[in-house]
Amino acid sequence: MRYRKLGKTDLDVSILGFGAMRLPMVGNPDRLAGFDPKVPIDEEHADRMVRHALDVGVNYFDTAYGYHGGQSERYIGKVLAPVRTKVMIASKLPVWNIEKPEDFDRVFEEQLGKLRTDYLDVYLVHGLNRTYWDKMKALGVLGFLDRLKAEGRIRVAGFSFHDEIKVFKSIIDAYDWDVCQIQYNFYDRAYQAGTEGLEYAADRKIGVVVMEPLRGGQLVDRIPTRVQEQWDAAPVRRSPAEWAMRWVWNHPGVSTVLTGSSSLQQLQEHTRVVRDAAPNSLSEEELARFDRVRALYREMVKVDCTGCAYCMPCPNGIDIPHNFQLYNDHFMFPGPEFGAFFYNNAMPEGERASACVECGDCMDKCPQQLDIIRELKEVHGVLAAPPKQG
């Protein structure tokens, strides 16, 4: 395992971190990304994943209050209890659960209890955007973080982020942050914080934790033919996951990259590529290949949904991420009407885009700031249409 400093802190962090948002679930093919509280974590499978991560030297484990409907923190606390002093546990303050200053301590104490620890190595203000940032500042979150650090109850203070670059910079400049967590991959290099934000944070010695390096699996699952042809044409053969992970690790400002693996097989693949993950190790020709692949994806992707499922559950029962997946598949994989077939025949009617009543509940939750209501109308308009006659 390779290690890098977590920004200006004295912590050496494994460059591959264990993300606990998409843990395997019992009887569920990892749809909904672990946000359904009614579906339990497949702990037997997850235990094998954690043991493998520990065996190869992973020391950074990331969870959050809301992952798996609260199950994730409980599971991470239990499975890491025997090795607590040898690992770093990162969790997040659920900004949507904070309405008054007293809520900070109440939620934090609840999290410590679930995680079976009396301190957190990393505590992040979760999912900051302009609205939540203004709300948290007004309620005194910065003083709360200062107090937790002074009391030794957290070692590192930071935030995770979903908004545009100017908001990111304003948050960075407002406090002496230790770490930030951003969505970053070769497709999203100019999205949200992006490369500009990564470099802005790194220049200030702030550790950068990268989430969604594979864009929720979209950059590695069912690769479009034209994209696979680009990877196959490279002189060095690598899997799409290895290409994508190495692109992120190529940036010296990145401290660690979270693998949101939902199976042991996925985790094993990610840990295999660590040995070659040095900063500035990709050639100019390889970087140009990423540019070509990104351009191909940009031509095909219609909805920039990562499948994170923050929009779920929908009050009306719509499976929003699955609708968007089928919609994108319709354009990315030409040939038989794959997406339309599943939309009309395999998806329950109540889960289809057509069931949207435009309540707007999903709109405030989407980290990508998608116009979900409008996009769902587009989904139904395309996928419910009768097949074209030859």
Number of C-beta neighbours around residue 131 at 10 A: 12
Q: Which residue has the tokens 């599943």?
A: 342
Determine the average pLDDT of the residues in 339-364: 88
**Does residue 122 or residue 219 have the better pLDDT?**
122
pLDDT of residue 258: 95
Q: pTM for the complete prediction?
A: 0.82
At 41, is the secondary structure helix, strand, or coil? strand
Residue 345 has pLDDT above 90, yes or no: no
- Model confidence at 276, pLDDT cuts 50, 70, 90, reads confident
Tokens standing for residue 139: 């309620």
CB neighbour burial string for 187-221, b if at least 16 within 10 angstroms, e if fewer: bbbebbbbeebbebbbeeebbbbbbbbbbbbbbbe
> For residue 222, which of 332, 300, 296 has the smallest C-alpha distance?
332
| CB-based contact 128:92 (threshold 8 Å) | no
pLDDT of residue 73: 96
Beta-strand ranges (E) seen in 172-317 are 179-183, 207-211, 254-259
What pLDDT digit, counting tens, does each position of 138-182 carry? 999 999 999 999 999 999 999 999 888 999 999 999 999 999 999
Determine the average pLDDT of the residues in 340-353: 85
One-letter amino acid of 282: L
Domains and CATH numbers, the chain: 3-285 (3.20.20.100), 320-383 (no CATH)
pLDDT of residue 333: 64
| CB-based contact 166:193 (threshold 8 Å) | no
- Model confidence at 25, pLDDT cuts 50, 70, 90, reads confident
Please enumerate in sequence order all residues whose Cβ is within 8 A of that of 306, keeping only pairs 6 or more positions apart, or say none: 183, 212, 215, 216, 218, 367, 368
d(CA 215, CA 198): 17
| CB-based contact 165:108 (threshold 8 Å) | no
Phi, psi of 290 (to 5 degrees): -60, -40
Please give the mean pLDDT across all residues of the chain. Answer: 91
Burial class (CB in 10 A: 0-12, 13-18, 19+), 39: middle
Determine the average pLDDT of the residues in 181-188: 93
**Does residue 337 or residue 267 have the better pLDDT?**
267
At 313, is the secondary structure helix, strand, or coil? coil
pLDDT of residue 387: 52
pLDDT of residue 162: 86
Residue 388 has pLDDT above 70, yes or no: no
Q: Looking at 273-282, 284-293, 352-361, which range is the least confident one?
A: 273-282
What pLDDT digit, counting tens, does each position of 280-337 carry? 999 999 999 999 999 998 888 889 888 788 899 999 999 998 899 888 878 876 555 6
At 298, is the secondary structure helix, strand, or coil? helix
Phi, psi of 61 (to 5 degrees): -120, 120
**What are 257's strand-pairing partners?**
16, 210
One-letter amino acid of 375: E
The terminus-to-terminus CA distance of the chain in angstroms comes to 55
pLDDT of residue 39: 78
> Length of the chain, please?
390
